[in-house]
Amino acid sequence: MRTAIATVCLSGTLNEKIEAIAAAQFKGVEIFENDLLSFNGTPAEVRRMIEGLGLETITFQPFRDFEGMPDPQRSKVFARAERKFDVMEELGCDLLMVCSNVSPDSLGGIDRAAADFHELGERAAKRGMRVAFEALSWGRHIHDYRDAWEVVRRANHPAIGLVLDSFHVLARGTDLATISSIPSDRIFLVQMADAPKLNMDYLSWSRHYRCFPGQGDLPIDDFMLALNATGFDGLLSLEIFNDRFRAGSARSVAVDGQRSLIAMLDELRRRTGAASPDFPALPPKAACSGVEFVEFAVDERGAVEFERTLSGLGFQKAGIHRSKAVTRWRQGNINIVVNADKEGFAHSFNITHGTSVCALAMRVGDASGTVDRAVKLLDQPFQQPVGPGEMNIPAVRGLGGSLLYFVDHKTGLDRLWDVDFETTEADDFAGAGLKSVDHVSQSMHYEEMLTWLLFYMSLLDVRKTPIQTVIDPGGVVQSQAIETRDGTLRLILNASQSPRTLSSRFLSDLFGSGVQHVAFTTDDILATVDRLKTGGVDLLPIPENYYDDLEVRTDLSAEDVERLRANNILYDRDDDGEYFQVYTKTMEGGFFFEIVERRRYQGYGAVNAPIRLASQTHLASGGTPSEL
């Protein structure tokens, strides 16, 4: 299989696109005509640039409104095609992609279209070229790949073949069974695109919301299974139209594209044993069983304040690092690492971001296998010097330049607390009833959201939940959860296009994307809140109106609601159970903690998010709790 990417996927000028494509280790490129038209140079110059970077132009596209035209337009479209062949000759490209006609002037009829393609095939073959036909999902007469295949079959010309575009096929929910009966040498090009499930017309959906395989909701793996059944070993190219990609960095989006192909082909190999020589097998997706630690980068002043907060939350100092200014704080199954060392990664991170989460460590089945998979997925591994006898914990770069560590039992990495730390823990410590990390919420730029979604989804054995739209007083926030099936690991990705949302303001306060809050679980939210009050922890005040409404819309007793009100506890329920949430007040830099009690509930309290955001916004702009 030869893989490629279309220039339309990326932002920038044609040169920038081509350079990004080469840097992301693609071998082939589909030239979009508009990118050529807006390029200040001849097609021959484009060819030199492409070949100079070791790339090959696999397709020139799109050629529109071709088949089924009545005269006199019919002769004109053939003249137009000849001119495109001229350009392709200069470009060094031998495959023209034709998408199905959308013109109201066009006439239907499979035989008429087949005759047109036969003639086009004759013309192309004379020049050593080929033509591939794609059914647009909004084509006027042909919008089903099965009809396009019938046209190609009846055209019966060796220079005429089919394009299968996963978006057009899957968006309409077309049956995939026919794919496996198409001879693989008649499929000249396969274009890959995923998309979120949306209820809109095919054209707008396709032009604005396509995304890389694995970033959306379409059954891409089923499509690949059907394609694999044909024995297809030809051109497979990413063709994505996405507003975020157009606003994002070409370099990073191109790498995302390559990463999505690597993960998709690995999944295919796992299901079918189909190997692609250019895509070596990866270790399996990491089986995660929770967060081993959350590491905060602090300076000396920040450390004192932050450790006071941790004490208030019921954590005790459980260990002191043997060689660095690093402490371990522990409660239940939760480990917080406070790193105030004056050298190394955390120190640099603190200089840029202030007190903030600089690393997360995940418990996985196989830490080195995870990093091996990450490297093969083009993620960036990270290493820094460790002291003699100390553990070297494998890591990769995560969101906003932070680190993602992997700790396993298999190779003894979970002994790090004994090896690297001197224990200072008291046996009879009571704590505040916090048990484990429930979820970690990360805020990021809107354009990066799909990048990090793919990063986690391709590396870890997790699933994503549908995107939630949360209303913040300053705008709309998109929120998506990624979680293991058993819920031991839950990550939330948040992003907003409005600069005034708390999520966006966090990015500017922190100077980058990062962890905005960490939620812990308790089995008894009331007892925990009592203990936090004793510990002097300031909880986020919740407006009275919220509780008045709660009394009306739930069957909670007046006493229950009163208890929630008195403790600033938010409440939600789903089909399975109940959810209780409290928040600490926001710390300098915008970070806060959340504490939740889950009673078989599976969500994240999205219904309460606007209440919480309004209260946080009120306090952030100098308001007092009593004004709420």
Identify the burial level of 173 via C-beta atoms within 10 angstroms of its C-beta, where 0-12 means exposed, 13-18 middle and 19 or more buried. Answer: exposed
422, with CB counted inside 10 A (0-12, 13-18, 19+), is: exposed
Q: Closer to Mg ion by CB, 316 or 602: give it.
A: 602
Which residue stretch of 234-242, 307-315, 478-486, 533-541 sits at the interface with Mg ion (rule: CB under 5 A)?
A: 234-242
Task: Candidates 37-45, 160-168, 414-422, 613-621: pick the segment binding Mg ion (CB under 5 A).
Answer: 160-168
Q: Which helix (H) or strand (E) holds 85?
A: helix 73-91
What single DSSP character describes residue 284?
P
**Residue closest to Mg ion when measured from CB atoms:** 165
Order of strands, edge to edge, in the sheet holding 316-321?
Answer: 381-382, 395-397, 403-407, 356-364, 288-297, 334-339, 326-331, 316-321, 421-423
Least separation in angstroms between CB 175 and Mg ion:
19
If we measure between CA atoms, which residue out of 107, 96, 115, 26 comes closest to residue 70?
Answer: 107
CB count within 10 Å of CB 366 equals 18
Q: How far is the CB of 191 from Mg ion (least distance, A)?
A: 4
SS3 label, residue 389:
coil
The two three-digit tokens of residue 154, written as one number:
């009846």
Q: 263 vs 613, which CB is nearer to Mg ion? A: 613
CB of 423 to Mg ion, least distance (A): 31
Judged by beta carbon, residue 198 or residue 304, the one nearer Mg ion is 198
Q: How far is the CB of 568 from Mg ion (least distance, A)?
A: 15
Structure tokens at 253: 């989006």
Q: In the window 505-544, what residues touch Mg ion (CB under 5 A)?
A: 519
Residue 448 lies near Mg ion (rule: CB under 5 A): no
**Is 192 or 346 the residue whose CB approaches Mg ion more closely?**
192
Between 46 and 164, CB nearer to Mg ion = 164
Hey, which residues between 52 and 91 contact Mg ion (CB under 5 A)? none
Q: According to the binding rule CB under 5 A, does residue 594 interact with Mg ion? A: yes
> Hey, CA dihedral for 190, 274, 268, 243, is it positive or negative?
negative
Rounded to a whole number of angstroms, the minimum distance from the CB of residue 384 to Mg ion is 31
Stretch that binds Mg ion, among 117-125, 348-356, 532-540, 592-600 (CB under 5 A): 592-600
Would you count residue 191 as binding Mg ion (CB under 5 A)? yes
* 158 to 85, 118, 147, 274: CA distances (angstroms): 17, 9, 18, 27
In the complex, the smallest distance separating the C-beta of residue 184 from Mg ion, rounded to whole angstroms, is: 19
Q: Which is nearer to Mg ion, 440 or 507 (CB)?
A: 440
Binding piece for Mg ion, criterion CB under 5 A, among 100-108, 203-211, 311-319, 594-602: 594-602
We find the least distance from the C-beta atom of residue 564 to Mg ion, in angstroms, to be: 17
List the beta strands (DSSP E) in 487-611.
490-496, 514-522, 570-573, 578-583, 592-599
User: E-strand spans in 259-412?
Assistant: 288-297, 316-321, 326-331, 334-339, 356-364, 381-382, 395-397, 403-407
Shortest spacing between CB 188 and Mg ion, in angstroms = 12
User: Residue 15 or residue 617: which is nearer to Mg ion going by CB?
Assistant: 617
- Options 30, 67, 165, 307; binder of Mg ion; rule CB under 5 A: 165
Q: How far is the CB of 517 from Mg ion (least distance, A)?
A: 6
Residue ranges that bind Mg ion, judged by CB under 5 A: 165, 191, 239, 519, 594
